[in-house]
Structure 1
Amino acid sequence: MIYLVSLIFRALNWLVSAYILLIVVYALLSWLPGGYESKFGRIIGRLVEPFLGYFNFISLGPIGFGPVVAIVVLSLVQYGIQYLGMLVLQLMI
Protein backbone atom coordinates (compact mmCIF):
# COMPACT_ATOMS: atom_id res chain seq x y z
CA MET A 1 0.00 0.00 0.00
CA ILE A 2 2.82 2.40 0.85
CA TYR A 3 4.45 1.65 -2.49
CA LEU A 4 1.24 2.51 -4.37
CA VAL A 5 0.81 5.84 -2.56
CA SER A 6 4.47 6.67 -3.16
CA LEU A 7 4.07 5.81 -6.83
CA ILE A 8 1.03 8.09 -7.16
CA PHE A 9 2.83 11.05 -5.62
CA ARG A 10 5.92 10.43 -7.77
CA ALA A 11 3.73 10.28 -10.89
CA LEU A 12 2.04 13.58 -9.97
CA ASN A 13 5.44 15.15 -9.37
CA TRP A 14 6.66 13.89 -12.74
CA LEU A 15 3.58 15.21 -14.54
CA VAL A 16 4.07 18.69 -13.09
CA SER A 17 7.75 18.61 -14.10
CA ALA A 18 6.82 17.54 -17.63
CA TYR A 19 4.27 20.37 -17.89
CA ILE A 20 6.87 22.89 -16.72
CA LEU A 21 9.17 21.60 -19.45
CA LEU A 22 6.39 22.03 -22.02
CA ILE A 23 5.95 25.66 -20.92
CA VAL A 24 9.69 26.28 -21.30
CA VAL A 25 9.71 24.76 -24.78
CA TYR A 26 6.63 26.80 -25.73
CA ALA A 27 8.31 30.00 -24.55
CA LEU A 28 11.47 29.16 -26.49
CA LEU A 29 9.41 28.62 -29.65
CA SER A 30 8.73 32.36 -29.65
CA TRP A 31 12.38 32.91 -30.59
CA LEU A 32 12.01 30.87 -33.78
CA PRO A 33 10.30 32.43 -36.79
CA GLY A 34 7.18 30.42 -37.44
CA GLY A 35 7.74 28.28 -34.35
CA TYR A 36 4.14 28.51 -33.23
CA GLU A 37 2.84 27.72 -36.72
CA SER A 38 4.71 24.42 -37.00
CA LYS A 39 2.91 21.19 -36.19
CA PHE A 40 5.04 20.77 -33.06
CA GLY A 41 4.23 24.34 -31.99
CA ARG A 42 0.50 23.84 -32.51
CA ILE A 43 0.50 20.63 -30.44
CA ILE A 44 2.36 22.26 -27.57
CA GLY A 45 0.18 25.35 -27.90
CA ARG A 46 -2.98 23.28 -27.45
CA LEU A 47 -1.54 21.79 -24.28
CA VAL A 48 -0.05 24.94 -22.75
CA GLU A 49 -2.11 27.94 -23.88
CA PRO A 50 -5.21 27.20 -21.74
CA PHE A 51 -3.09 27.32 -18.57
CA LEU A 52 -0.98 30.27 -19.73
CA GLY A 53 -4.15 32.20 -20.48
CA TYR A 54 -4.55 32.81 -16.75
CA PHE A 55 -1.18 34.57 -16.58
CA ASN A 56 -1.02 36.54 -19.85
CA PHE A 57 -2.07 39.77 -18.16
CA ILE A 58 1.49 40.22 -16.87
CA SER A 59 3.53 42.03 -19.51
CA LEU A 60 5.94 44.89 -19.85
CA GLY A 61 5.51 46.28 -23.34
CA PRO A 62 6.04 43.48 -25.86
CA ILE A 63 7.62 41.19 -23.25
CA GLY A 64 5.22 38.84 -21.51
CA PHE A 65 6.01 37.31 -18.16
CA GLY A 66 3.11 34.85 -18.18
CA PRO A 67 5.28 31.73 -18.65
CA VAL A 68 7.57 32.77 -15.78
CA VAL A 69 4.66 33.27 -13.40
CA ALA A 70 3.07 30.00 -14.56
CA ILE A 71 6.31 28.12 -13.86
CA VAL A 72 6.54 29.68 -10.39
CA VAL A 73 2.94 28.65 -9.65
CA LEU A 74 3.57 25.10 -10.90
CA SER A 75 6.76 24.92 -8.82
CA LEU A 76 4.77 25.85 -5.73
CA VAL A 77 2.21 23.17 -6.61
CA GLN A 78 5.03 20.68 -7.04
CA TYR A 79 6.48 21.53 -3.63
CA GLY A 80 3.00 21.12 -2.15
CA ILE A 81 2.64 17.69 -3.73
CA GLN A 82 6.02 16.64 -2.38
CA TYR A 83 5.19 17.87 1.12
CA LEU A 84 1.77 16.24 1.09
CA GLY A 85 3.36 12.99 -0.10
CA MET A 86 5.83 13.06 2.77
CA LEU A 87 3.05 13.72 5.28
CA VAL A 88 0.85 10.92 3.94
CA LEU A 89 3.71 8.43 3.86
CA GLN A 90 4.72 9.32 7.43
CA LEU A 91 1.16 8.77 8.61
CA MET A 92 1.05 5.37 6.92
CA ILE A 93 4.24 4.11 8.58
Structure 2
Amino acid sequence: MDMIFNILIQIIGIYKWMLIIYILLSWFPNMRDSQIGTILGKLCEPFLEPFRRIIPPIGMMDLSPLAAFLILSFAPQGLIVLQNLIS
Protein backbone atom coordinates (compact mmCIF):
# COMPACT_ATOMS: atom_id res chain seq x y z
CA MET A 1 0.00 0.00 0.00
CA ASP A 2 2.91 2.35 0.74
CA MET A 3 4.18 1.85 -2.79
CA ILE A 4 0.87 3.00 -4.27
CA PHE A 5 0.89 6.19 -2.20
CA ASN A 6 4.52 6.86 -3.14
CA ILE A 7 3.71 6.42 -6.84
CA LEU A 8 0.73 8.79 -6.51
CA ILE A 9 2.91 11.39 -4.80
CA GLN A 10 5.49 11.09 -7.60
CA ILE A 11 2.76 11.48 -10.24
CA ILE A 12 1.50 14.62 -8.49
CA GLY A 13 5.04 16.02 -8.50
CA ILE A 14 5.43 15.37 -12.22
CA TYR A 15 2.01 16.90 -12.90
CA LYS A 16 2.97 20.02 -10.96
CA TRP A 17 6.00 20.46 -13.25
CA MET A 18 3.81 19.93 -16.30
CA LEU A 19 1.46 22.62 -15.02
CA ILE A 20 4.35 25.03 -14.40
CA ILE A 21 5.67 24.50 -17.93
CA TYR A 22 2.17 24.93 -19.38
CA ILE A 23 1.73 28.20 -17.49
CA LEU A 24 5.13 29.47 -18.63
CA LEU A 25 4.27 28.64 -22.24
CA SER A 26 1.53 31.27 -22.08
CA TRP A 27 4.20 33.96 -21.68
CA PHE A 28 5.64 33.24 -25.14
CA PRO A 29 3.66 33.91 -28.31
CA ASN A 30 2.47 30.80 -30.17
CA MET A 31 4.19 28.37 -27.79
CA ARG A 32 0.89 26.78 -26.76
CA ASP A 33 0.29 26.01 -30.43
CA SER A 34 3.51 23.97 -30.60
CA GLN A 35 3.47 20.19 -30.26
CA ILE A 36 4.56 20.32 -26.60
CA GLY A 37 2.03 23.06 -25.86
CA THR A 38 -0.76 21.03 -27.44
CA ILE A 39 0.13 17.91 -25.44
CA LEU A 40 0.40 19.85 -22.19
CA GLY A 41 -2.88 21.60 -22.98
CA LYS A 42 -4.68 18.28 -23.35
CA LEU A 43 -3.26 17.14 -20.00
CA CYS A 44 -3.56 20.37 -17.99
CA GLU A 45 -6.73 22.07 -19.28
CA PRO A 46 -9.17 19.49 -17.84
CA PHE A 47 -7.67 20.12 -14.39
CA LEU A 48 -7.64 23.92 -14.81
CA GLU A 49 -11.17 24.25 -16.21
CA PRO A 50 -13.08 23.88 -12.89
CA PHE A 51 -10.83 26.51 -11.30
CA ARG A 52 -11.50 28.90 -14.19
CA ARG A 53 -15.23 28.51 -13.65
CA ILE A 54 -14.86 29.45 -9.97
CA ILE A 55 -12.13 32.12 -10.10
CA PRO A 56 -12.76 34.96 -12.56
CA PRO A 57 -9.77 36.64 -14.21
CA ILE A 58 -8.58 39.88 -12.65
CA GLY A 59 -7.90 42.20 -15.57
CA MET A 60 -5.57 40.31 -17.88
CA MET A 61 -4.41 37.88 -15.18
CA ASP A 62 -5.87 34.41 -14.80
CA LEU A 63 -5.31 33.31 -11.19
CA SER A 64 -6.89 29.89 -11.62
CA PRO A 65 -3.54 28.15 -12.34
CA LEU A 66 -2.24 29.48 -9.02
CA ALA A 67 -5.19 27.95 -7.16
CA ALA A 68 -4.76 24.68 -9.07
CA PHE A 69 -1.06 24.62 -8.22
CA LEU A 70 -1.82 25.20 -4.51
CA ILE A 71 -4.26 22.29 -4.51
CA LEU A 72 -1.62 20.08 -6.11
CA SER A 73 0.93 21.25 -3.54
CA PHE A 74 -1.28 20.17 -0.64
CA ALA A 75 -2.37 16.88 -2.23
CA PRO A 76 0.71 14.87 -1.11
CA GLN A 77 0.10 15.85 2.52
CA GLY A 78 -3.50 14.72 2.14
CA LEU A 79 -2.33 11.40 0.75
CA ILE A 80 0.07 10.97 3.68
CA VAL A 81 -2.74 11.63 6.16
CA LEU A 82 -4.97 9.17 4.29
CA GLN A 83 -2.17 6.61 4.32
CA ASN A 84 -1.77 7.00 8.09
CA LEU A 85 -5.51 6.59 8.61
CA ILE A 86 -5.57 3.40 6.57
CA SER A 87 -2.48 1.88 8.25
Per the normalisation by structure 2, the TM-score is 0.88
Question: Which residue among 65, 71, 76 is the counterpart of 1:67?
Answer: 65
CA pair 58-76 structure 1, distance change in 2 beyond 3 A: farther
Displaced runs of 4 or more, over 6 A:
none
Separation (CA, whole Å) in 1 of partners of 2:3 and 2:28:
38
Does residue 12 of the first structure (1) align with residue 8 of the second (2)?
yes
Indicate the SS of the match to 1:34.
coil
Secondary structure of the corresponding residue to residue 61 of structure 1: coil
Cα separation, 1, equivalents of 2:75 and 2:20? 17
Structure 2 segments unaligned to the other structure (5+ residues): none
Highest RCO, 1 vs 2 (Cα 8 Å, sep ≥ 6) = 1
After TM superposition, the score normalised by the length of structure 1 is 0.83
Residue 24 of structure 2: aligned partner: 28
* Offset, 1:19: 1.1
Structure showing greater radius of gyration is: 1
User: Which of the two has greater strand per residue?
Assistant: 1
Q: Distance in 1 between matches of 2:48 and 2:35?
A: 19
State the identity %.
33
